[in-house]
Amino acid sequence: MSEEMKKEGLFSVIKYEGDNDTFIWKHPIEDFNYGSQLIVHESQEAVFFKDGQALDTFGPGRYTLETQNLPLIGKAYKLATGPQSPFHAEVYFINKTVQMAIKWGTPDKVRFIDPLTGTPLDLGASGEMNVQVSNSRNLLIQLVGTMKGIAWEDGPGFTKSLQESFRPLISTAVKTNLPAVIKEQAIDILEIDSNLGLISDNLREKILPGFEEYGLTIPQFYVTSVVLPENDPNFKRIRELHTITLQTRIIQAEATVKTAQAQSEAQYRTAQEQSKAAIEVAHREAELQKQTTETEILKREAERKIIAAQADAEAAKMAGLTEAEIMRAKGYNQKDVLQAEVQKAYAEGIGNMGPEVSNGGGG
């Protein structure tokens, strides 16, 4: 920076090198000249502000300030265009990174009416959230006045805390919606820790619109703890009832299991008996089939023998007829046959009597 620029309060390089916890930082110098260098780092945005109006905006990069890239300031104030012409404006650097693990909590208890018993209970809730600037101009217009900057918590060099600005919004949203979410989702108050994810998603939907009005968004919102009134007699009674209910459910479940086991065993025995009966029927059918087959074989064998006997008888009959026909052809008749048979028998009888008969029986 030249000595002349220092005397006139001008600044030649405009940039922010601070930490990442700051949402908005106001540059301490408000008098600049054309030709100054503007440096905007990654995840930053620079906005020139004048008389309550957000004017020219710059994303990440290095810029030489000229009338071409400051059209709104030049138009609004008819600035001179010389290389060293000065102009007055406020410059705000907006941090666009996600601010992680920002803590929140309800300063007062949240009244909840247990739907099963009608018992009133006082709950506490706390957690963390991630916040990010989504609309720089909107955030500047809504929150920024004559201040040095904005962070979530108070700190040196800052005149505004987002925590203070949004604490009432978060507290009201949680008080209004936490009991409603528990009822709508039918969450058992004693099992609430296992449903924190569901509760977190529902509360984020309720809280997000209030942040968006200010140019902010909530990528993630977490309920990490719901404090139960352990010393409240009403809560102790609810816990006792819950224990009794749980024991009853266990007994019912065990009875159901035993009944199912008995039914299963009965079904198994029935299936065994049915299988055994089916096997016996199959054996009987096989035996009957075997007997039927053997009877059929014997029947077929008997039929074969009858046919063979009939064939033999027919052959014999045919043989007898043939012999008689031959004899008739030679001039023999039945009488001749009988005489021949008698003579044959007589001859055979003499042969059997021996030589005594042939010699006349003398000695």
99-229 homologous superfamily? Band 7 domain (3.30.479.30)
What confidence tier does 71 reach under pLDDT thresholds 50, 70, 90?
Answer: confident
Number of C-beta neighbours around residue 49 at 10 A: 20
What percent of the chain has a predicted confidence (pLDDT) above 90? Answer: 28
CA gap 151, 158 in Å, rounded: 7
Q: In the chain, where are the structural domains located?
A: 3-95, 99-229
Structure confidence by residue, pLDDT tens digits, 195-216: 999 999 999 999 999 999 989 9
> According to the model, what pLDDT value does residue 1 have?
39
Structure confidence by residue, pLDDT tens digits, 301-313: 777 888 877 877 7
Percent helix, strand and coil across the chain, each to the nearest 5: 50, 25, 25
Strand runs (DSSP E) across the chain, as ranges? 11-14, 22-26, 31-40, 44-50, 53-58, 61-64, 86-88, 90-95, 99-105, 110-113, 120-133, 149-151, 160-161, 216-227
- In this structure, of 32-41, 153-162, 216-225, the range with the lowest mean pLDDT score is 153-162
Q: Residue 160: pLDDT above 60?
A: no
Average pLDDT, the chain: 79
> According to the model, what pLDDT value does residue 269 have?
83
Q: Residue 360: pLDDT above 70?
A: no
Q: Which pair of structure tokens corresponds to residue 22? A: 């700051």
Structure confidence by residue, pLDDT tens digits, 315-359: 777 776 666 666 666 665 666 656 666 666 666 665 555 555 445
∠ CA 263-268-270 to the nearest 5 degrees?
Answer: 95
Question: Quick one: average pLDDT of 175-194?
Answer: 92
